Amino acid sequence: MSSTPLALFVGLPTPTISNDEFALFRDTNPLGLFVGRRNQREPEQTKRLIDRFREAVGRDDAPVFTDQEGGRVQHLDAGPWPLFRSFGQFAELARRDFDLGKKALRLSSQAMGAMMTELGLSSGCSPVLDLVFETTSAVIGARSFGPDPDFIAALGREVVDGLLETGNMPVMKHIPGHGRATLDSHKERPVVDASRETLTATDFKPFVALKDTPWAMVAHVVYSAYDAELPASISPVMHDVIRKDMGYDGVLISDCIFMQSLSGTLPERVAQVLDAGFDIALHSHGDVRESEAAAKAARPLTDAALARIAAGKARLGTLKVDVRAAHQQVEDMFASAPAA
């Protein structure tokens, strides 16, 4: 096993790590684990799962991510975990009372971050900074704060800072912007034909405003004004756009390589992401054979990626939050808000 982790997140089909999976993770040393709804039943089980992965790779700080935005995308939605509101709902509140909306969102983000940190989860892969339009694929919907990039950036800042304060890593997505895509990249390859000028003034803008966010997830969307063939997540051209034009120097992880916007075998998809210059490929689920194939195609993290990861970790705070009390306070804010 290399002492440098592979530039890969792996996933699991069940709530436990089998002996074969444990041996694979021990022998290949993937950087991190992605857990979904299928993997998490209740707090103690989730903690055991995380501990076992970290034991396998021999790193007690190995990142373990999930999807926990609020609304319909929250994979901690069983057992005793409170349910959090969608970004669309916070946007509605902020349009009625901007300061109250920001305050509620910051507190909700702190509660959600603290809940994940207590479990051992490193990140909920949030916030979503994509714009949303009438033509936007329904895969985004209420996950977005709306169509105004400045409004999105202002609310996104509350999420980023609230998560960091509680020791949970924000991951802004889906850079450089999924909002003009009319197709769901889980199922098809979306092509955005907007001009460079339009993209710079709209979709790219929230990500540039929050470019100090330590991690970002790259969209499987084609931006034909820059690269007419390849989705951003496997495009060297779009890698340079994000790094140079947008000025982003944090960790760049692909969206899940199982999504059908990409083509080729899973190992080929891992190679495509890393060959394009991105830091990490996300293999968010799959069985042990698929994880083994992905690991064989991956390579150790670069020195630059390791430095970016370390810089992000150095920004994590230690704020303690009473999760249920904070969650209830947020609900009280919604109840007392001025009518629409």
Q: Which residues are catalytic?
A: 186, 255
Contact between 252 and 242 (Cβ < 8 Å): yes
DSSP string, 175-240: ET--TT--S-TTTS--EE---HHHHHHTTTHHHHHTTTSSEEEE---EETTT-SSS-GGG-HHHHH
Q: Counting beta carbons within 10 angstroms of the beta carbon of residue 53, is it exposed (0 to 12), middle (13 to 18) or buried (19 or more)?
A: buried
The rounded distance, in Å, linking the Cα atoms of 321 and 339 is 29
Tokens of 235: 């495009």
Mapped onto helix, strand or coil, the DSSP state of residue 75 is coil
Residue with tokens 């704020």: 319
Of 255, 304, 256, 297, the closest CA to residue 277 belongs to 304
Cis check for the bond before 285: say yes or no (omega within 30 of 0): no
The secondary element (H helix, E strand) that includes residue 236 is helix 236-240
Alpha carbon 270 to its chain centroid, in Å, reads 17
The rounded distance, in Å, linking the Cα atoms of 113 and 31 is 21
In DSSP terms, 70 is beta-bridged to 73
Tokens of 49: 């799962």
Mapped onto helix, strand or coil, the DSSP state of residue 335 is helix
Tokens of 105: 């969102």
The rounded distance, in Å, linking the Cα atoms of 294 and 172 is 24
In DSSP terms, 229 is beta-bridged to none
